[in-house]
């Protein structure tokens, strides 16, 4: 499974890239706003520090405007793909942008039917939001499994990005269900590294090493 980081923070991207595990970056308007910048500026900065796919969200609401904005975002750097929110205009824009070789990440996916339409329109990625479904008392993980099954039944080339990840369990569920990608917040990536038994084991090895040195 590919690991993307879900952030627009440059230090976090640099740090995770230094771990040797980074396959991509996803941003959204809320993450960009948190950094006090704008999408074109920030994705250009990200593209200058990592050589991986980067999602940049278009904010237009009409298909023709989305197409124009999508072309402008994609022109910033070859690694940039265009994030569009699931709706009819986005389907129309996806058809055009994908036919021009511009990758689209269809975001705000909350049903397998939406993912099916996005894939048929030519989206390169679909982003089901697991955590936000959990937030409303649904079981977000079910959606991941449904989309993976539908895409595999018909051989759609679109990649499933498990998004709105809230903890390591979501990552594990995405991986066991066969999602192509999980886009993971920085704090969850840190949580994935740790295990109390690992920490305990390291401390014990250090203690024994120090003891054996004294002999």
Q: How far is the CB of 186 from ligand G3P (least distance, A)?
A: 12
Binding mask 8-27 for ligand G3P (x = CB under 6 A): ------------------x-
Neighbours of 122 (CB within 10 A): 19
Dihedral sign for Cα atoms in the order 41, 46, 51, 57:
negative
Helix (H, G, I), strand (E, B) or coil at 55: strand
Task: Assess 98 for contact with ligand G3P (CB under 6 A).
Answer: no
Can you state the angle between helices 10-18 and 186-193, rounded to 10 degrees?
30
Q: How far is the CB of 161 from ligand G3P (least distance, A)?
A: 8
- Classify strands 54-57 and 159-162 as parallel, antiparallel or unpaired: unpaired
Binding mask 101-140 for ligand G3P (x = CB under 6 A): ----------------------------x-xx--------
Candidate list 6, 69, 103, 159; residue touching ligand G3P; CB under 6 A:
6
Which one of 83, 92, 197, 211 is the catalytic residue? 83
CA 83 from chain centre, in angstroms, equals: 11
12 versus 163: smaller Cβ distance to ligand G3P: 163
Determine which helix (DSSP H) or strand (DSSP E) holds 6, and give its type and residue range: strand 2-6
96 versus 115: smaller Cβ distance to ligand G3P: 115
CA angle 195, 145, 184 (to 5 degrees): 40
User: 83 an active-site residue?
Assistant: yes
| Active site amino acids | 83
Residue ranges that bind ligand G3P, judged by CB under 6 A: 6, 26, 28, 129, 131-132, 163-164, 183
């Amino acid at each position: 499974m590919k690991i993307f980081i879900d952030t627009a923070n440059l230090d976090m991207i640099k740090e995770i890239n230094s771990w040797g595990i980074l396959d991509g970056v996803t941003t959204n308007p809320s993450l960009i706003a948190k950094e006090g910048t704008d999408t074109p500026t920030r994705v250009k900065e990200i593209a200058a520090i990592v050589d991986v796919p980067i999602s940049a969200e278009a904010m237009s609401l009409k298909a023709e405007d989305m197409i124009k904005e999508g072309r402008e975002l994609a022109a910033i750097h070859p690694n940039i793909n265009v994030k569009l929110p699931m709706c009819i205009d986005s389907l129309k824009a996806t058809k055009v942008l994908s036919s021009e070789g511009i990758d689209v990440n269809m975001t705000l996916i909350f049903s397998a039917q939406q993912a099916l339409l996005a894939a048929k329109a030519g989206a390169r990625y679909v982003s089901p939001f697991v955590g936000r479904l959990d937030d409303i008392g649904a079981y977000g993980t079910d959606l991941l499994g449904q989309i993976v099954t539908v895409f595999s039944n018909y051989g759609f080339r679109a990649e499933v990005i498990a998004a709105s990840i809230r903890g390591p369990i979501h990552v594990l569920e995405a991986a066991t269900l066969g999602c192509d990608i999980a886009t993971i917040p920085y704090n969850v990536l840190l949580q994935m590294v740790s295990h109390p038994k690992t920490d305990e084991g390291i401390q014990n090895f250090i203690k024994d090493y120090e003891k054996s040195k004294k002999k």
